[in-house]
């Protein structure tokens, strides 16, 4: 396990994918899309490796990360791979205050910053809705459901204003208490195999890719 002092020195965890990035760059594999985000993104390939392999998708998620951390490693872990598309799913850990309190305005600003960098590098950015969550297993004190809904509204509006694809995971995965449908998650935040299967269906439809 990495020491707290090492993590403090490398707050965005730039070391995390350094070796994998080097190998991928030298492999000459086609990179259709890089999936960028937190534990939801990091766990996805573990549930369905074939989904990534068959579509030339690559994951660059790190559990627990917030948008300020993602912004700092965006150039190295995403743009440096020169993908055709970037699938960005981020924001739930910001709402959980994993790296401290942050406003919705600041979260969307970080998302916009990454999108602008992608555009400058002629890479298509795909923005995804934050999954429903009405409680955090690691931070029970935060009441945040309304923030999830509002953040998704802001992401969708920004996507529409800039002619970007918006992937709505929230609507098909939310229960009547504005949380993640229990059969789709292994906790109140992270999807299980069934949850990822649904997300794959929604994403491919949004990207107009046939399964």
In angstroms, the CA 44 to CA 64 distance is: 14
Q: What is the pLDDT of residue 174?
A: 96
Q: What is the pLDDT of residue 155?
A: 98
pLDDT band at 92 (very low <50, low <70, confident <90, very high): very high
Segment among 8-12, 13-17, 65-69, 92-96 with least mean pLDDT: 8-12
pLDDT band at 117 (very low <50, low <70, confident <90, very high): very high
Q: What is the pLDDT of residue 1?
A: 41
pLDDT (average), residues 17-39? 95
Kindly state the greatest CA–CA separation across the chain: 48
Domain ranges of the chain: 4-207
In angstroms, the CA 191 to CA 24 distance is: 27
Give 141-206 as a DSSP string: T---HHHHHHHHHHHHHHHHHTT-EEE--HHHHB-TTSSB-GGGBSSSSSB-HHHHHHHHHHHHHH
Q: What is the pLDDT of residue 3?
A: 44
Q: Does 14 score more than 50 pLDDT?
A: yes
Q: Does 211 score more than 80 pLDDT?
A: no
Contact 45, 103 (CB under 8 A): no
Q: Does 2 score more than 60 pLDDT?
A: no
pLDDT band at 107 (very low <50, low <70, confident <90, very high): very high
Prediction pTM value: 0.92
pLDDT (average), residues 100-116? 97
**4-207: what fold?**
Rossmann fold (3.40.50)
Q: Which residue has the tokens 């924001």?
A: 91
Q: What is the pLDDT of residue 143?
A: 62
pLDDT band at 5 (very low <50, low <70, confident <90, very high): very low
Q: Does 157 score more than 90 pLDDT?
A: yes
């Amino acid at each position: 396990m990495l020491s707290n002092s090492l993590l403090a020195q490398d707050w965005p965890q730039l070391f995390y994918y350094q070796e994998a990035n080097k190998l991928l760059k030298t492999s000459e594999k086609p990179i259709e899309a890089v999936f960028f985000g937190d534990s939801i993104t990091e766990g996805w390939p573990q549930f369905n490796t074939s989904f990534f392999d068959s579509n030339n998708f690559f994951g660059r998620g790190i559990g627990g990360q917030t948008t300020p951390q993602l912004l700092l490693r965006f150039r190295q872990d995403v743009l440096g791979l020169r993908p055709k598309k970037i699938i960005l799913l981020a924001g739930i850990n910001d709402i959980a205050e994993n790296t401290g309190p942050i406003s919705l305005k600041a979260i969307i600003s970080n998302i916009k910053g990454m999108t602008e960098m992608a555009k400058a590098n002629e890479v298509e950015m795909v923005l995804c809705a934050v999954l429903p969550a009405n409680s955090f297993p690691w931070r029970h004190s935060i009441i945040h459901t309304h923030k999830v809904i509002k953040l998704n509204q802001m992401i969708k509006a920004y996507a529409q204003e800039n002619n970007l694809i918006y992937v709505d995971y929230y609507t098909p995965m939310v229960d009547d208490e504005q949380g993640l449908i229990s059969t789709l998650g292994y906790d109140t935040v992270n999807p299980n195999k069934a949850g990822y299967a649904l997300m794959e269906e929604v994403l491919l439809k949004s990207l107009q890719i046939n399964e």
